[in-house]
A and B are shown apart, each in its own frame.
Chain A
Amino acid sequence: GAGVSQSPRYKVAKRGQDVALRCDPISGHVSLFWYQQALGQGPEFLTYFQNEAQLDKSGLPSDRFFAERPEGSVSTLKIQRTQQEDSAVYLCASSLGRVGNEKLFFGSGTQLSVL
């Protein structure tokens, strides 16, 4: 597709359930980012990749959060044993080159609700 695609669009999970969120970046984009956006807040950085290498995961809130991009294209954000505080919109973005000097293209996000 022409843009960044995220699936599912909405996810409802029971507390304690594991979830997996998928991001398909724009083809050929080197950098991929995950952000968490709580209601009424700005996007909070979680982690980013250059190709398959995870260069920074300092924003992951706990060891329940795990992200991978094994072939340097599609990425998955996994949250284990979900908690209510994990409820948020999870945004994926990609850029053509290196981080700071490139425009980020954002997906529409996955809205996660933990009951």
Chain B
Amino acid sequence: AQSVTQPDIHITVSEGASLELRCNYSYGATPYLFWYVQSPGQGLQLLLKYFSGDTLVQGIKGFEAEFKRSQSSFNLRKPSVHWSDAAEYFCAVGDRDDKIIFGKGTRLHILP
């Protein structure tokens, strides 16, 4: 069965600084990988997804993520964060014919 680990419960960065949120997955084959964001009082929103092909995927709001099979990782990055990026970020893994499993999340705090 697939599983997802997000090692960092909280991350704090200064506005304008770069960001990297870590995600490690466990899955027997090539997984489908996702990053979702949950802002206070709002539903989960898809940032980006990886199915196949180019291992560097671009998402909305200036986010990108890189799939590294050798490290079983799918880390989320942004070159310069904005105060509005403060939210909870969830990595998820799925399969073509199976459910999508979410990690426990990383809460991002932005310092002015």
Contact = CB atoms under 8 A, between A and B. Distances in A.
Interface string B25-57: 000000010101000001111100101000000
A35 B100 CA distance: 10
A100 B96 contact: yes
A101 B51 CA distance: 7
Contacts, number: 61
Contact of B104 (A41, A93, A100, A108): A41
The dominant DSSP class at the A interface is: loop
A58 to B, nearest CB: 8
A101 B32 contact: yes
A103 B43 contact: no
Contacts of B6: 42
B67 interface: no
A90 interface: no
B100 A45 contact: yes
Interface residues of B, number: 24
Main secondary structure on B side of the interface with A: loop
Interface residues of A, number: 23
Given A99-B95, A100-B94, A107 B43 contact: yes
A98 interface: yes
Interface in A43-101: 43-45, 48, 56, 59, 91, 93, 98-101
Interface of B: 6, 32, 34, 36, 42-46, 49, 51, 90, 94-105
Given A98-B96, A103-B46, 11 more contacts: A33-B100, A42-B102, A43-B44, A45-B102, A93-B44, A99-B94, A99-B97, A100-B32, A101-B94, A101-B96, A108-B42
Interface of A: 4, 33, 35, 41-45, 48, 56, 59, 91, 93, 98-101, 103-104, 106-109
26 contacts: A41-B104, A42-B6, A42-B90, A42-B103, A43-B44, A45-B99, A45-B101, A45-B102, A56-B99, A59-B99, A98-B97, A99-B94, A99-B97, A99-B99, A100-B32, A100-B95, A100-B96, A100-B98, A101-B51, A101-B96, A104-B44, A104-B46, A106-B43, A106-B44, A108-B42, A108-B43
